[in-house]
Amino acid sequence: MILIDALYINKGGGAVLLDYLIEKILEHKQKELFYFLLDPRFEPPARLKSNYIVIPNKLSERIKFYKARRNDYSKVFCFANTPPPIKLKCSVYTYSHNQKLLEAPRQKFNPKYFKLYLKYLVIKLFNGNTDYYIVQTPHMVEELTNIGLKDKQHCLQIPFYDDRKYTGEHKSFGERNKDEFVFISNPSPQKNHGTLFDAWEYLLSKGFKPVLHVTIDETGPQYVARMNDLNARGARIVNHVYVDPRELYFNCPYLIFPSVMESFGLPLIEAADSGMKVIASNLPYVHDVVVPSLTFEAMDKMSVANAVINAMSEELPFSKVVTRNEVERLIELLLMQPSAAKSNN
């Protein structure tokens, strides 16, 4: 039996990936070999019937679970960054998908990182209980090795994502409004909405009024206030709060992506697959997944604004996806016999 430990996964990008992984496993001819440990806040798909258990998402409950079932599994895949709380005899893989957790030791005196640093300390405490970390991109391998959790031989790069959602029929680039830009993101600090709005304010002062589509919810009141002020002065910023990204990706020409930190820039891939041109921060996480149409310096409002002006006045090349979905490889790795898995890593 293979355990997929997804405790602590309940919403956001992690839940989307977990849904997709479960779907692909349930399509596999050996699906009966998999067993899932789930967070009570995660709603499992209807097809997942008896081969899972839900426990409270507390460390004490996780320890209790592993102590009771430590000999039940041939492999364990921990999906939520944190290795098992006890040492197991079987092979263990841990999926590391939160760069902010890996940034936390460098920011341990920053109050904003206090909770993340505590979570990192838990990961470090249990680090010896996992044989490998699995990540999506080369820069995440670098992050893991730079803080000393594992060496490169024990960091496996296996990107996976649902690559079916944004292919197919959509407007050609020439049919789209030339001055519309999209940034689908929550208002977390690393997403860098502040610099983006600074750039839009500068554009407004120079007589440019491109449309900016954003998705800022109640967790970002300061950005909502800033947006309202800019719009009162003549800017065109549309806050959708929650929206199916396909509506925007299929109809708008440009994704603008000022984020300064991403474990895996999935919106960049989705936008490129949707026929958009990607204008993004000149950072490794971007180049790991796409060849962007244009880049800018993430914290420089003038650089962002100039990229927008260039997009509206010049013919930019189309963006290209340079990563690929390897979910089948991940599933086969988990199904391999231990000796075969070791030789193939």
The Cα–Cα gap between 194 and 304 comes to 12
- For residue 158, which amino acid is it? I
**Confidence check: pLDDT of 341 > 80:** no
The Cα–Cα gap between 325 and 165 comes to 12
Q: Is the dihedral of CA 24, 248, 140, 96 positive or negative?
A: negative
**Do the bridges between strand 320-321 and strand 290-291 make them parallel or antiparallel, or are there none, so unpaired?**
antiparallel
- Residues 117 and 237 occupy one common structural domain: no
**Confidence check: pLDDT of 44 > 70:** yes
- The residue written with tokens 């199904």 in the block is 335
For residue 42, the enclosing domain spans 2-163+325-344
- Residues 207 and 301 occupy one common structural domain: yes
Q: What is the pTM of this model?
A: 0.86
Cβ atoms within 10 Å, residue 44: 16
Q: Is residue 20 part of a domain?
A: yes
What CATH code is carried by the domain that includes residue 277? 3.40.50.2000
- Residues 247 and 329 occupy one common structural domain: no
Element (H, E) at 69: helix 59-69
- Residues 109 and 179 occupy one common structural domain: no
> Which of the residue ranges 200-209, 262-271, 332-341 would you say has the lowest mean pLDDT?
332-341
Alpha-carbon 208 to chain mean position: 32
The Cα–Cα gap between 305 and 217 comes to 24
Asked if 223 and 187 count as a contact pair (C-beta separation under 8 A), the reply is yes
- Residues 304 and 329 occupy one common structural domain: no
Residues 6+ apart with CB under 8 A from 274: 166, 170, 246, 249, 250
- Residues 294 and 149 occupy one common structural domain: no
Question: What pLDDT digit, counting tens, does each position of 52-100 carry?
Answer: 999 999 999 999 999 999 999 999 999 989 999 999 999 999 999 888 8
Q: Which residues partner with 38 through β-bridges?
A: 6, 54
Alpha-carbon 229 to chain mean position: 31
**Confidence check: pLDDT of 312 > 60:** yes
Alpha-carbon 145 to chain mean position: 19
Query: What per-residue confidence (pLDDT) applies to 130?
Result: 98
Q: Is residue 168 part of a domain?
A: no
- Residues 155 and 238 occupy one common structural domain: no
**Confidence check: pLDDT of 122 > 90:** yes
- Residues 82 and 217 occupy one common structural domain: no
Asked if 107 and 115 count as a contact pair (C-beta separation under 8 A), the reply is no
The Cα–Cα gap between 2 and 32 comes to 9
Q: Is residue 37 part of a domain?
A: yes
Query: What per-residue confidence (pLDDT) applies to 342?
Result: 47
Return the exposure string of 81-98: e unless at least 16 CB atoms fall within 10 Å of the residue's CB, then b: bbbbbeebebbbbbbbbb
Label residue 166 by pLDDT band (50, 70, 90).
confident
The Cα–Cα gap between 26 and 32 comes to 8
Question: What pLDDT digit, counting tens, does each position of 187-233 carry?
Answer: 999 999 999 999 999 999 999 999 999 999 999 999 999 999 999 99
